[in-house]
Amino acid sequence: MTRSFSIITKINLVILVVLAVAAGFIFYQVMKQENQHTEEMLIKEAQSIFGQIQAVRHWNAGFGGVYAYKKAGMKPNPYLYQTRPAPDSPRTIEPEITDSNGRKLILINPALMTRGIAEGSKNDQQISYYLTSLNPINPNNAPDDFDKKALRTFEAGKTDVFKAYQNGGEPYFRYIAPLETKAACLTCHGFQGYKVGDVRGSISITIPMKAEQAHAEGNQITLIGYGIALYLLIAITLTLTIRRLVSNPMEKIIIFSNGLEIESEELLEQNGANDELGMLSHSLAAT
């Protein structure tokens, strides 16, 4: 027959189980905080990128676009020929001009500048972004499903949308924020019916998060290692302490009580202990 656990062993097991549950809860909360911290870092990075893009676009739009000498393979933005301040007004910008020396210049508007910078960013930093809108002039800026949902929430007043996802087995973080119509924007977009303050579109940013995820997982593994070591230390210390202070004295009391005819107090030697078990031992010996 299997020997049943003693009360001391049961109490010890209960304490260890409670400690394990508490440790598991703490681990869960810490890991949750670590994931939230990683997400907050990515959001701040995306917001910083968005702010820099916005600053460059506003600078460009403040000049009504900037002209650059046309190089081999460069073409003016063909969609600028469609733009105008109002539906029935003439176009106020020229996508391509010729200087007094006969050299061709093309207009680099905010959209064209954004695409050019985005190509460099994707090649150098693997961070990609693009313009999109529910009412794009350039069909290449048509939104995907994620963009559409985000753009509709922007019209309802939301300021940004983000998500983490997997693509080809690699983790990515996607962030999208709205582009608000400014007075300078109406030079090109006025014919679409926009007014100052309207959400004209958005910038969608994609950031690879493999490094951030690896860092978070490393921190979690380290935390789990320290947690397991601490739990084992507490468990071993608790078990040995209970055995020395409770189990061993109790075994002596049981042995003595099972053989009272021996009348030997040596079995109850407590080394002068004055705790409850010591008092019980001396009482039994006296009896």
pLDDT tens for each residue of 134-167: 999 999 999 999 999 999 999 888 999 999 999 8
pLDDT band, very low/low/confident/very high, at 278 (cuts 50, 70, 90): low
Q: Say how far apart CA 17 and CA 12 lie, in whole Å.
A: 9
Q: Which two tokens stand for residue 48?
A: 């910083």
pLDDT tens-digit series, residues 115-143:
989 988 887 778 999 999 999 999 999 99
Q: Which residues pair with 130 in a beta bridge?
A: 204
| pLDDT higher than 60, residue 266 | no
**For the chain, what's the residue count?**
287
Question: Are the C-beta atoms of residues 163 and 178 closer than 8 Å to each other?
Answer: no
Separation between Cα atoms, residue 260 and residue 283, nearest integer Å: 13
